[in-house]
Chains A and B, each alone.
Chain A
Amino acid sequence: MGKSSSTRTVRSWTRRGALGGFLAATLLAAACGGGGGGGEAAAPSQGGGAPAAESIPPDAVSITATPQNSPLPAGTPGAGKPAIVIGSKNFAEQTVLGELYTQALKAKGYNATLKASIGGSELIDKSLESNQIQMFPEYLGETVTSVAKLPAPTSASDTYNKAKQWLEANRASTVLMQTAFEDTDAIVVSTQLAQEKGLATISDLNKVGPGGQGVTVSGPPEFQNRETGLAGMKKTYNLPNVGYLPAPAGSQYTAVDQGAAQAANAFTTDYQLTTGKYKLLTDPEAVFGYQYVAPIVKQDVLAAQGPEFAATLNWVSGLLSNEAIQALNQQVQGNNQPAGQVAQQFLAANGLK
């Protein structure tokens, strides 16, 4: 898959054009959504956006990569540098992230290979610890709570700092700048229900019925009794009467469509959110934590590869807004395009030569 970055065909050119157009369209839609905040009833197609997840929290501005603070280094600074193996976890979004970082490094002359679909947070951490991989993109809240087993952090910057400190002390690794998007658990309802009852935050579920009476949330089994899941949500937002419908990952939206559930446990980067059929309820108490993505890299590798290495990775992170990752997920999960090809088109559309 990665080889395709060197073989350009007419066909991939036209596809690239299509993706560029698609990205432009979603960015345009986001701009409209920002401008027309008053008329939410008149513009249901913008109800599916994730305004809260898009904006960078004020405390995280200095640690978040953006196109402004992370330009692409010139030339091929990676020529002659030692080889590096990059890992990614076992689901579609991670494969795209792994491809993006790997292909960007390759284009800059680095000798990078991708080991995709390694496993969950704990397993990929073991791969890093045993030096089978030297870098992987991770959701930093996962590092803090699932891998380091520390108490849940209270802000985005707290999450970043705790992850960084723990990795430096225990894995001889560090984190680069984080993305503007985060992929955290979220609660979505149908746009129709949101408009009927005036739902904007999770605590608004109280408006449907006292204590969330009449609301069933569909989600995977592990969501039910996690503190960063349904159990924590019921406590924090005082929703003791919310019901639960187990649904395999991916079919939560089906449950809402069929009316078997009124709300679904989703991820903020799900491409389904771009359809406008669903409204993402914001999580002001941050029950679901902070899951911004940053590359975790071995410190000795970072030193050996030179400063342009980190700059290239930060450039990729800077491109990844919430709209961008949703569009990438749409291409891979919704349209069944190969992740490597989608990543290549995205990077090229953003000016990677």
Chain B
Amino acid sequence: MIQYLSDNFSRLLVLTLGHAVLSLVALLISVVVGVSIGAYVGHLRRYSFLAINLGNVLRALPTLALIAVMIALIGFGFVNITIALVVLALPLILTNAYTAVTGVDRGMVEAARGMGMKDLEILFQVELPNAIPLIMTGVRTAWVYTVATAYLAIFAGYATRPGQLGSLGDIIGNPSGEGTTGVLVAAAFAIVLAFLGAGLITLAERAMTPTGIKLSRSAAMAPA
């Protein structure tokens, strides 16, 4: 295993970078689309049935089957695997964003309205800041799922070649060529990437959470 690691170290780093880029692009698209829809539907407290069920249908699609279908429809490569990963990550982020926003204390929202705040002001200044911890939980879960699934890039025709980074799937998807050792080492790199990313997301969550919420949380947790 050490032998494989030293023989392939620079290649593993490049593939891990490619893996991270692939996962990050899919995650960013999912966050933008998922949080927007989830938060807005949560704010309206309407159309939730449609949005959530559509999300759950997407979640039920097997990623590999989706890739195979999209090969016929849109072809091989980066776009194919990115769509497949967005379909995986989006529902998680969407449902969490929806649940987070609807879960914000009604009294607080009504108080804001009573103070004369407009709809969008309520969403951005009251609901979203209060919803951040739960939204970020969804983002963190989606990141882990995405990293764990991005190796399927190899089956979508996205692999290392000049001008293309590839993913750890180059190794994980080829056990007969790389051996069990190679698969295990590459999987270990993916796990480290998943943990690192999850850690960074936690840090981002801390930075984004308003001080008031942190205080009220620690007050709630402190022994009476």
Q: Give residues in A with beta carbon < 8 Å to B.
A: 218, 221-222, 224-226, 243-248, 251, 254-255, 258, 260
Contacts and interface: CB of A to CB of B under 8 A. Distances in A.
24 contacts: A218-B157, A221-B154, A221-B155, A221-B174, A222-B175, A222-B176, A222-B177, A224-B174, A225-B174, A226-B176, A244-B159, A246-B155, A246-B159, A247-B76, A247-B157, A248-B67, A248-B71, A248-B155, A251-B71, A251-B72, A254-B71, A255-B71, A255-B157, A260-B157
Which are the 7 A-B pairs with shortest beta-carbon distances? A221-B174, A222-B176, A225-B177, A248-B155, A221-B173, A260-B76, A246-B159
A222 B77 CA distance: 18
B62 interface: no
Contact of A260 (B68, B77, B174, B177): B77
B76 A245 contact: yes
B211 to A, nearest CB: 49
Nearest to B154: A246
A222 B174 contact: yes
B180 to A, nearest CB: 13
Nearest to A146: B176
A255 B174 CA distance: 19
Contacts of A222: 174-177
Given A221-B159, A248-B64, A248-B155, 7 more contacts: A218-B76, A221-B177, A225-B174, A246-B155, A248-B68, A254-B72, A255-B71
Most chain B Cβ neighbours within 10 Å, of A222, A224, A246, A254: A246
Contacts of A218: 76, 157
A222 B154 CA distance: 11
B161 to A, nearest CB: 6
Contact of B76 (A221, A226, A258): A258
A253 to B, nearest CB: 11
Given A258-B75, A258-B76, A260-B76, A246 B157 contact: yes
Interface in B145-180: 154-155, 157-159, 161, 170, 173-177
B154 A226 contact: no
Nearest to B166: A246
A246 B177 CA distance: 13
Interface in B35-69: 64, 67-68
B173 A260 contact: no
Contact of B161 (A221, A243, A258, A260): A243
